[in-house]
Structure 1
């Protein structure tokens, strides 16, 4: 029977014995979703969704490592791997979300409605995402050591706050674009409606990732002895389930048709939409 073991002396990596069943279930769920996204990536050639598919791969690796930790809670490698990969996976989801907005705006011929110049839009948000990735990635390993665990926790919180700020501004930018488009449509026929569903998908996915990030900030702020880090069910409800929902929603309403942007891309979209009527 699995037991909670100290990593060194009286320092424990875990506050509980991680559930093997829960880890295996979510590893399978994320594996299925990730395989589907790689298939969509191959089918649509939407390279801006590569980061999203890789985020799913991060989740799979994270939950496999979590399952491995069930039988040895003193193992530093499995603890660090599940911590790093589950923490960083959603940042890769966010990267594809950011890159999609620019394509939506170009598809709608709505560059003049964008709060941020389109030529800087993707770069600005992805750079913020990369910064959050680097900050959280550099700190996740520190959390495994007793002496630097507190520093690592604070750095992770800083990375999550960066992600929340960037996401907040991203949602504002998206909403402003939609309001301006409603007030002054660009008048390009069927293209005027092709951007709306992907934009609403961005809202839903962004809200789920933000909710997960808020949970993580509160979780780390409460500390290792806090309720959230001491009770495993909270991770699966407020992180695992939300991120799997993100993958399902993105897969059902996949923005792969937006990979052809600009005039030629819009012509293809118009023809595709007309041909399906």
Structure 2
């Protein structure tokens, strides 16, 4: 009971319908923190500036689980609840922003633009724009829910805004995966001729893996919010760790293992040899171009 509200009362909005686990939160603070630190090192060493949103997402995950550690000390305190709700909700959108940029670089690395469903120069713009929209909607919805603790209408509005944001994320991510599959299918003969010194395949495979993880997590969140504050998923903490924490850690570790910064290095090397020239740019300009 807190403020006269029973955590088992289906008609009341409560912050947690269980006591948050301190050990589980502490484990994921450590794991996300280690992976984020490694991503910082890899991005700096490989000059992969396009991974900055991804790193921020990792820091959001880390701080979000710190919020859950604080909530394990007092599950009725609003501040830590808001912190973990917002940061864990929007972090995958930041992961997505960097992942979207990977496909464009793979297309450029393999000279595969003729096989892309969308022109490479528009590819990143379209998907990152959708990602920003999803990020803003989820953040706004989470803010409404967190600040409307005693206002059922505000809470309901927040849930609806979050759902719109999640559906936006799923739609853009689904289309992104389709675009990647079409590129690989159309260009299969061309890609088969590329030597092993251009390891496009493992980067594209990792792109699929991380995209699927984020899609599964987003679908879980949709179901969670559709069920509402008293739903089955929100009454059992284990689902958050299985379908959010583990999957998002999987995204981070997968890209620690096959880091997209390697593509930037390969692009620079090929560009210096004159093998890669951006469309509609003079060769002299491209020779001085870096691929962060």
Establish whether TM, by shorter chain, passes 0.5: yes
1:150 maps to 156
The CA distance in 1 between the partners of 2:4 and 2:252, in whole Å, is 34
Please say if 1:229 is aligned against 2:234.
yes
**Please, which runs of 5 or more residues in structure 2 have no aligned partner?**
7-11, 276-292
2:2 maps to 5
- 3-state SS of paired residue (2:187): helix
Q: CA deviation at 1:269?
A: 9.6
Q: CA deviation at 1:133?
A: 0.2
How many residues are aligned here? 266
Alignment match of 2:204 (pick from 196, 199, 208): 199
> Does the 8 Å contact 2:14/2:229 carry over to 1?
no
TM-score by length of 2: 0.85
Within a 5 Å distance, the mapping from 1:1-277 to structure 2 comes to 5-6=2-3, 11-144=13-146, 145=148, 146-147=150-151, 148-185=154-191, 187=193, 189-190=195-196, 193-260=198-265, 264-267=268-271
Q: Which portions of structure 1, spanning 4 or more consecutive aligned residues, are displaced by more than 6 angstroms?
A: 7-10, 268-271
Residues 158-206 of structure 1, C-alpha deviations (whole Å, 9 max, x = no match) = 1000000000000000001111121344855456x52111011000000
The CA distance in 1 between the partners of 2:165 and 2:16, in whole Å, is 22
User: RMSD of the alignment, in Å?
Assistant: 2.2
Query: For residues 5 and 25 of structure 1, do their structure 2 counterparts lie closer, same or farther at Cα, with a shift above 3 Å needed?
Result: farther
Q: CA deviation at 1:5?
A: 3.1
The CA distance in 1 between the partners of 2:184 and 2:75, in whole Å, is 49
TM-score by length of 1: 0.90
The CA distance in 1 between the partners of 2:200 and 2:212, in whole Å, is 19
- 3-state SS of paired residue (1:205): helix
- 3-state SS of paired residue (2:17): coil
